[in-house]
């Protein structure tokens, strides 16, 4: 490929030798992921299924969670 790809391959190999492979997971035993349960909103404590999520186009603005008014 080129000098940069050779340098990157050597750098990556050196980092893995010194630091080990990347750590994946939370580092402890995790609970069961049960997404069938309708969880409570951390803001208003109502069910999340009653909320609206606004996801704008592109990556400029973040998603917005709209709590129900009732």
Question: Mind listing the pLDDT tens digit for each residue in 3-44?
Answer: 888 999 999 889 888 888 777 776 778 787 777 778 899 999
pLDDT band, very low/low/confident/very high, at 1 (cuts 50, 70, 90): low
Query: Kind and range of the H or E element at 52?
Result: strand 52-54
pLDDT of residue 46: 94
Cα dihedral: 44, 46, 51, 54 (round 10):
30
């Amino acid at each position: 490929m080129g000098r940069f790809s050779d340098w990157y391959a050597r750098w990556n190999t050196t980092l893995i030798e010194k630091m080990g492979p990347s750590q994946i997971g939370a580092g402890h035993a995790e609970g069961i992921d049960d997404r069938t349960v309708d969880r409570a909103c951390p803001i208003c404590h109502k069910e999340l299924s009653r909320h609206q999520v606004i996801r704008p186009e592109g990556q400029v603005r973040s998603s917005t969670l709209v709590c129900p008014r009732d």
